[in-house]
């Protein structure tokens, strides 16, 4: 049973990691707790589903369109709800409340538009499953884990090997200095939001395919956990988000099974608090002074 | 706008007395139980946002788990009064003590952590508290909640009419304001302000960070616990759904909306954000949508909150020192 | 500055338009009908409150009309409006028109108390119907009790609900009876196989599962696994299913709402947990089979509420057929047991009003004497002393993605 629980945990964890990678991009560059990310993730899943219904079942085209549209939604959120706050040099907590408002708007708009019922989601990857001993593993689980790793690698390349990535890191360290160096900070942030939201859409679509169901509250359920994963791994560190996600997933699964299913989340949070007390900057985080 | 603030600041004492008088007369003029209940609910949220403002606004410690203290206070009062028949005043005192101890517990990691690291720890703390409330059937009756909590009575007189609750709540609000204001105007308040400004600088100036941070957490938690104890004895039925983490963000929103670091701001923020969803009730499913739009719009137009960055004390001092010229913008 | 604000608001509106525009036609049809009625009657509540005993009978109603349980509340409202419109067109009761004063509690107990206070502030209202969940109904009950208003909870199955006031009534079978009836039937049907239970940690789930467990063990069966989950926390139940699989149960009883339930059965299938599947009526919802797919083939559904299908339009029971066809014609969907329950509530109450007049005290006395009532949602028996309700147990099996009637076990 232990191995099965680890597999379960890794799957839950790679789902968190998928969302967390996008989350940590925005988090890293803007030092902003983006409470709308979970809702964007949900919108991505809904766009894929509704577009594929509208396109008569052409799932891959729908998923691709959803990627772009959700990415654009991220840019719109930044433009509409956050850029002005940057110009005004408002407290960062103000931006946090603003993203909370955006999250509320998105959740309720989807609920009004598509209804609050849970909807069936097509799983186009009917690849079956295999067993090792008594442990059952489905191919979709393998794909989700692999996809999280691949996306993490791609994002690392973008952040550390491209000019845009360099600009992102510069903006993250000191936006004013970056502007003086001739970097178009607003453009960089818009790009970050685009990528972050695009990743959220991928995560949303994968989530839908794996659980074969989506509902308007799926974002708020996962966003708190993702926040925890990002902080646990170290803010703005891509492998940290991955590690944080997998760790919390496995702790949840093993804790639910060997300790208590009712305290599943409590165990995960207790571990998080413990790690942070011992290592305040997160597992892979670098020590920097930070103020919210 | 500026001259209004100046006028208000100059007559601060008068304004306060008038407001208090209005609040005291209010239930005598309005008998509608729905309105009274909304006022009491606003009062509870005023206490909660004031206590969170002490922590977040004046000490710079972001908490996303403030509702946990409220819940602990409510459960403490409910269990003590129901199972042990304790008088409501004793229950309230007990609730303050117990929640202050939990405040101490949460204050410890805050010594090492700041910013969003602290935010996620407080969020995790409140989730753990909620899960204990849900799972510990023997103590809290789990999701079935605690029913039939005794209503407050003093010397055999039941204080359970809507008006009695209203005045009790008003008393608690005034008490909270007085306590927090006294703290802020004492050396503790200045120490907290320095910690908020720059923790390292504060340390070098000889401020005992440990002591003041823990103190802020304990006082803030204790006041929230008091609000919880009152809530439990008011509604007489509590279950864990009232203490979910979205309520924490709601209180945080009230603080930011009213103005971070402003006591009158917290009062206004709590009242406005309790009433707005009620006023929007007829909009049915569009209600929460509009609530979100209002929130974003407000942040964009006034990022510092309704009364943020308006220091009535400074305005008053300026007014008495020199004739008003309105040079300083708000 | 003004320009930016304008830009921002335009941006937001565009965003909203984009989101709401895409799928408007799919779901809004049924909600529109409901909320429109609620809006008009809700907003007029303060205006005419002074005309006590005028020519209208005002009945309070509250349920989740927004939020994640809105589908239930809206279906309640649809059924109630349908009955009321019908009565009003026929001239009302004794020439008086009936007006439903509707409120949205978002399935939040705190809101329910606000609403209860709003309702009791209106002296012309003698009866309040609501809410969907027991938590909301029970939070509101003391307010109604104090004001002496008859409170009727369509689905308040919490065992303590009817004890919260001498005018607190429900037509739902309390969980203690339902849990025991489920256990008895499951034991008989499976031949006493080892049972695994997964339950939702809510007031309903906790009481239902503990009564079920005790009753099943009292009959001589074994409950080998008893696992809970916290609602709204996760969609991944593989950890508890894996744990259960370890115990090799012969049957799995899942107490959950349709959405979590569908996920549990699907994940149980993916983890190759092969055993009999049993669930309570709480799972019944069209979306349940949509989402769960073939993972629930053969599932035994033990319900106190009926499941309707297209064929029920030609039911031999004419009241049922009329209800189903009228509801479908009006709202475009086949009703499930929840609106049927709400329909029975309003029918019972309006029948009594025409008999004893619109007075809470008289209506409460009448309600205790209902005895056995054949409603569209099944047979209801009210105990005159305890006010507790017993209902028939309706057993359905899922065959090829459709509910098939298995048998009806009359209440004892």
Min Cα separation B125/chain A (Å): 7
Q: Is residue B15 part of a domain?
A: no
Whole-number pLDDT of residue C75: 92
pLDDT in tens, B209-252: 888 888 999 999 999 999 999 999 988 888 888 898 888 988 99
Q: How far apart are CA C71 and CA C75, in angstroms?
A: 6
> Nearest-CA neighbor of C285 among C330, C331, C234, C338?
C338
Whole-number pLDDT of residue C54: 62
Whole-number pLDDT of residue B85: 85
Q: Is residue B84 part of a domain?
A: yes
pLDDT in tens, A66-90: 999 999 999 999 999 998 888 888 8
Whole-number pLDDT of residue C203: 80
Q: Is residue B282 part of a domain?
A: no
Min Cα separation A39/chain C (Å): 12
Residues listed for chain A: 292
Closest by Cβ to C259, choosing from A215, A257, A265: A215
Structural domains of chain C, ranges and CATH numbers in brackets: 28-173+319-391 (3.40.50.2300), 176-303 (3.40.50.2300)
Q: How far apart are CA C331 and CA A229, in angstroms?
A: 45
Average pLDDT, chain B: 85
Q: How far apart are CA B292 and CA A36, in angstroms?
A: 11
Inform me whether the C-beta atom of residue B253 falls under 8 Å from chain A C-beta atoms.
Answer: yes
Q: Is residue B304 part of a domain?
A: no
Closest by Cβ to A262, choosing from B124, B135, B256: B135
Whole-number pLDDT of residue C267: 92
Min Cα separation B45/chain C (Å): 13
The domain of B52 spans: 32-245
Q: How far apart are CA C15 and CA C12, in angstroms?
A: 5
Whether omega before C342 lies within 30 degrees of 0, making that bond cis, reads no
Whole-number pLDDT of residue B320: 65
Compare all CA atoms of chain B with the CA of A101 and give the residue at the minimum distance: B292
Whole-number pLDDT of residue A135: 87
Q: How large a percentage of chain B has pLDDT more than 70? A: 94
CA torsion C120-C123-C129-C134 (nearest 10°) is: 10
Total domain count for chain B?
Answer: 1
H-state helical runs in C219-359 = 238-245, 258-270, 286-292, 318-331, 337-356
Min Cα separation B75/chain C (Å): 16
Q: Does A208 have pLDDT greater than 80?
A: yes
Average pLDDT value for residue range A161-168: 90
Inform me whether the C-beta atom of residue A12 falls under 8 Å from chain C C-beta atoms.
Answer: yes
Higher per-residue pLDDT: A258 or A236: A258
Closest by Cβ to B303, choosing from A85, A101, A224: A85
Cα atoms in the 13 Å half-sphere on the side-chain side of A190 = 11
pTM: 0.83
Among residues 106-125 of chain A, which lie with CB inside 8 Å of chain B? 107-109, 111-112
For tokens 């204050």, the residue is: B107
Looking only at the bridges linking them, the beta strands covering A129-132 and A135-138 are antiparallel
Q: Is residue B292 part of a domain?
A: no
* Chain A residues closer than 8 Å to C331 by CB: none
Confidence band for B327, pLDDT divided at 50, 70 and 90: very low
Q: How far apart are CA C320 and CA C326, in angstroms?
A: 10
Average pLDDT value for residue range A260-285: 88
Q: Is residue B52 part of a domain?
A: yes
Whole-number pLDDT of residue A57: 79
Whole-number pLDDT of residue B321: 62
Compare all CA atoms of chain C with the CA of A11 and give the residue at the minimum distance: C236
A&C contacts, CB < 8 Å: 149
> Nearest-CA neighbor of C221 among C242, C190, C245?
C190
For tokens 């410690």, the residue is: B61
Q: Is residue B265 part of a domain?
A: no
Residue A162's CB is within 10 A of a number of other CB atoms, namely 11
Neighbouring residues of C249: CB distance < 8 A, sequence distance ≥ 6? C193, C194, C195, C196, C224, C225, C275
Q: Does B170 have pLDDT greater than 90?
A: yes
Q: Does B15 have pLDDT greater than 80?
A: yes
Average pLDDT, chain A: 89
* Chain C residues closer than 8 Å to A186 by CB: none
Higher per-residue pLDDT: B70 or C35: B70
* Chain C residues closer than 8 Å to B144 by CB: 158, 203, 206-207
Q: How large a percentage of chain A has pLDDT more than 70? A: 98
The domain segmentation of chain A, as residue ranges, is 2-119+129-218
Q: How far apart are CA B54 and CA B64, in angstroms?
A: 14
Give partners of B (≥3 CB pairs < 8 A): A, C
Q: Does A12 have pLDDT greater than 80?
A: yes
pLDDT in tens, B97-134: 999 999 999 988 887 787 778 888 999 999 999 999 99
Q: In this structure, what are the phi and psi dihedrals at residue A177, rounded to the nearest 5 degrees? A: -60, -40
Q: How far apart are CA B269 and CA C29, in angstroms?
A: 37
Q: Is residue B319 part of a domain?
A: no
Whole-number pLDDT of residue B1: 60
Give partners of C (≥3 CB pairs < 8 A): A, B
Q: In this structure, what are the phi and psi dihedrals at residue B141, rounded to the nearest 5 degrees? A: 65, 20
Structure tokens at C121: 């502030």
**Which regions of chain C are under pLDDT 50?**
1-5, 7-53
Confidence band for A20, pLDDT divided at 50, 70 and 90: very high
Q: Are C208 and C184 in contact, with CB atoms under 8 Å apart?
A: no
SS percent in chain B: helix, strand, coil, step 5: 80, 0, 20
Q: Does A196 have pLDDT greater than 60?
A: yes
For tokens 């219904």, the residue is: A53
Confidence band for A38, pLDDT divided at 50, 70 and 90: very high
Structure tokens at B129: 């508290």
């Amino acid at each position: 049973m232990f191995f099965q629980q680890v597999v379960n945990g890794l799957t839950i964890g790679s789902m968190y990691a998928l969302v967390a990678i996008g989350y940590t991009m925005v988090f890293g560059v803007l030092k902003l707790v983006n409470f709308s990310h979970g809702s964007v993730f949900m919108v991505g899943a809904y766009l894929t589903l509704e577009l594929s219904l509208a396109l008569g079942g052409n799932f891959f085209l729908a998923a691709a369109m959803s990627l772009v549209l959700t990415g654009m939604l991220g840019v719109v959120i930044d433009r509409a709800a956050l850029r002005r706050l940057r110009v005004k040099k408002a407290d960062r907590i103000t931006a946090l409340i603003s993203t909370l408002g955006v999250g509320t708007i998105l959740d309720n708009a989807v609920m009004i538009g598509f209804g609050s019922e849970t909807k069936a989601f097509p799983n186009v990857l009917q690849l079956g499953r295999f067993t090792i001993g008594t442990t059952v593993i489905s191919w979709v689980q393998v794909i989700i884990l692999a996809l999280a790793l691949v996306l993490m690698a791609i994002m690392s390349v973008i952040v550390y090997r491209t000019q845009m990535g360099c600009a992102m890191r510069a903006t993250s360290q000191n936006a004013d200095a970056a502007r003086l160096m001739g970097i178009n900070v607003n453009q960089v942030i818009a790009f970050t939001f685009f990528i972050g939201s695009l990743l959220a859409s991928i995560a949303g679509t994968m989530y839908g395919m794996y659980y074969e169901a989506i509902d308007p509250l799926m974002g708020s359920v996962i966003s708190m956990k993702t926040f925890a994963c990002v902080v646990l791994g170290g803010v703005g560190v891509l492998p940290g988000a991955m590690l944080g996600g997998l760790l919390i997933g496995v702790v949840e699964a093993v804790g639910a099974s060997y300790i208590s299913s009712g305290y599943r989340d409590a165990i995960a949070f207790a571990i998080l608090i413990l790690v942070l007390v011992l290592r305040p900057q997160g597992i892979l985080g670098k020590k920097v002074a930070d103020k919210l | 706008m500026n001259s209004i603030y100046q006028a208000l600041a100059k007559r601060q004492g008068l304004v306060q007395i008038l407001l208090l008088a209005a609040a005291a007369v209010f239930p005598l003029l309005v008998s509608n139980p729905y309105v009274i209940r909304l006022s009491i609910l606003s009062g509870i949220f005023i206490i909660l946002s004031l206590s969170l403002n002490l922590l977040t606004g004046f000490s710079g410690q972001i908490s996303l788990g403030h509702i946990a203290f409220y819940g602990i206070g409510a459960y403490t009062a409910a269990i003590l009064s129901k199972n042990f028949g304790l008088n409501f005043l004793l229950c309230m005192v007990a609730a303050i003590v117990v929640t202050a101890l939990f405040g101490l517990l949460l204050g410890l990691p805050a010594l090492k952590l700041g910013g969003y690291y602290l935010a996620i720890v407080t969020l995790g703390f409140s989730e753990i508290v909620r899960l204990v409330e849900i799972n510990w059937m023997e103590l809290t009756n789990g999701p079935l909640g605690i029913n039939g909590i005794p209503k407050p009575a003093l010397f055999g007189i039941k204080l359970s009419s809507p008006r009695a609750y209203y005045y009790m709540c008003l008393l608690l609000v005034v008490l909270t304001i007085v306590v927090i204001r006294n703290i802020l105007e004492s050396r503790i308040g200045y120490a907290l302000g320095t910690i908020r400004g720059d923790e390292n600088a504060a340390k070098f100036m000889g401020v005992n960070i440990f002591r003041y941070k823990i103190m802020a957490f304990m006082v803030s938690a204790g006041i929230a616990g008091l609000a919880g104890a009152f809530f439990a004895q008011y509604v007489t039925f509590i279950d864990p759904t009232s203490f979910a983490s979205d309520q924490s963000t709601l209180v945080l929103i009230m603080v930011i909306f009213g103005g971070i670091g402003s006591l009158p701001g917290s009062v206004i923020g709590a009242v406005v954000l309790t009433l707005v969803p009620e006023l929007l009730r007829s909009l049915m499913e569009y209600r929460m949508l509009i609530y979100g739009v209002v929130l974003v719009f407000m942040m964009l137009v006034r990022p510092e909150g309704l009364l943020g960055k308006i220091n009535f004390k400074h305005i008053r001092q300026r007014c008495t020192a020199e004739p008003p010229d309105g040079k300083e913008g708000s | 500055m003004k320009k930016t604000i304008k830009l921002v608001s335009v941006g937001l509106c565009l965003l909203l338009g984009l989101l709401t525009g895409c799928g408007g036609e799919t779901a809004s049809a049924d909600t529109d009908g409901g909320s429109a009625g609620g809006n008009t009657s809700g907003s007029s509540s303060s205006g005419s409150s002074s005309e006590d005993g005028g020519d209208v009978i005002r009945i309070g109603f509250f349920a989740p009309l927004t939020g994640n349980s809105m589908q239930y509340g809206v279906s309640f409202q649809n059924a109630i409006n349908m009955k009321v419109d019908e009565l009003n067109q026929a001239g009302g009761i004794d020439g008086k028109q009936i007006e439903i004063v509707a409120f949205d509690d978002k399935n939040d107990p705190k809101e329910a108390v606000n609403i209860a206070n709003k309702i009791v502030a209106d002296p012309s209202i003698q009866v309040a119907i609501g809410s969907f969940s027991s938590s909301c109904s029970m939070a509101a009950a003391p307010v109604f009790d104090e004001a002496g208003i008859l409170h009727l909870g369509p689905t308040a199955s919490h065992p303590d609900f009817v004890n919260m006031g001498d005018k607190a009534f429900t037509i739902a079978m309390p969980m203690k009876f339902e849990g025991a009836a489920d256990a008895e039937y499951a034991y008989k049907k499976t031949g006493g196989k080892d049972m695994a239970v997964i339950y939702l940690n809510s007031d309903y789930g906790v009481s239902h599962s503990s009564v079920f467990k005790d009753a099943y063990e009292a009959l001589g069966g074994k409950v080998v696994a008893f696992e809970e989950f916290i609602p709204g926390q996760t969609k991944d139940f593989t950890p508890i299913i894996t744990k259960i699989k370890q115990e090799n149960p012969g049957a799995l009883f899942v107490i959950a709402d349709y959405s979590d339930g569908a996920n549990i059965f699907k994940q149980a299938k993916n983890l190759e947990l092969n055993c009999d599947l049993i669930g309570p009526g709480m799972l019944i919802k069209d979306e349940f089979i949509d989402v769960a797919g073939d993972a629930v083939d053969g599932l035994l559904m033990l319900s106190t509420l009926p499941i309707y299908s297209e064929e029920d339009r030609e039911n031999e029971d004419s009241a049922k057929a009329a209800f189903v066809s009228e509801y479908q014609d009006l709202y475009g969907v086949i009703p499930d047991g929840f609106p049927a329950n709400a329909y029975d509530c309003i029918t019972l109450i309006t029948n009594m009003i025409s008999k004893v007049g619109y007075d809470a005290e008289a209506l409460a006395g009448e309600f205790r004497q209902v005895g056995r009532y054949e409603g569209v949602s099944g047979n209801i028996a009210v105990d005159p002393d305890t006010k507790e309700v017993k209902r028939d147990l309706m057993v359905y099996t899922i065959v090829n993605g459709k509910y098939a009637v298995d048998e009806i076990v009359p209440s004892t």
